[in-house]
């Protein structure tokens, strides 16, 4: 979900039309649409908050997806990410990327001030990144 600070509008993106249909049944007042986040999706420096939950591990071109998210974020904008802990994830179907805590911390620090930690009893990694 992405929060547009200027208009206080919530946006939701997913590559699955089925997921968008289900979410639209549950989330009134949120603008939901199918989109591939490896393609640009908002104007530069327009978003205050971005959330990418349990998605990056499925995206082969995750660096382009991250680039697009951070280009859209305002300076000092905040992005929150969750991914499975690569030390535990194994061969989960559909997961094309796996990161350890150190690897994910290094990746997130390329985009800003990052705090990365374990959560859900160490099964997942949580990153909060403030854009430079």
Residue given tokens 């998605």 in the structure block: 55
Residue 99 in contact with residue 107, Cβ under 8 Å? yes
pLDDT at 2 over 70: no
pLDDT digits (tens, 9 = 90+) for 47-96: 889 999 999 999 999 999 999 999 999 999 999 999 999 999 877 889 99
pLDDT at 16 over 90: yes
pLDDT of residue 21: 93
DSSP three-state, residue 64: helix
Weakest-pLDDT range from 1-10, 46-55, 85-94, 105-114? 1-10
At residue 8 the predicted structure's pLDDT band, cuts being 50, 70 and 90, is low
Global confidence as pTM? 0.87
Residue 30 in contact with residue 7, Cβ under 8 Å? no
Number of residues in the chain: 132
């Amino acid at each position: 979900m992405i929060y547009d600070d200027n208009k206080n509008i919530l946006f939701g993106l997913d590559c699955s039309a089925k997921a968008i249909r289900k979410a639209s049944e549950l989330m009134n007042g949120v603008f939901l649409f199918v989109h591939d986040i490896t393609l640009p999706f908002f104007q530069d420096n327009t978003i205050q908050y971005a959330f990418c939950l349990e998605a990056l591990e499925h995206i082969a071109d995750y660096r382009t997806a991250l680039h697009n998210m951070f280009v859209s974020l305002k300076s000092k904008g905040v992005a929150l990410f969750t991914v499975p802990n690569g030390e535990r994830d194994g061969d989960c179907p559909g997961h094309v990327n796996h990161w350890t805590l150190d690897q994910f911390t290094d990746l997130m620090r390329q985009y800003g001030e990052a705090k990365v930690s374990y959560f859900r009893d160490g099964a997942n990694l949580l990153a909060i990144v403030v854009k430079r």
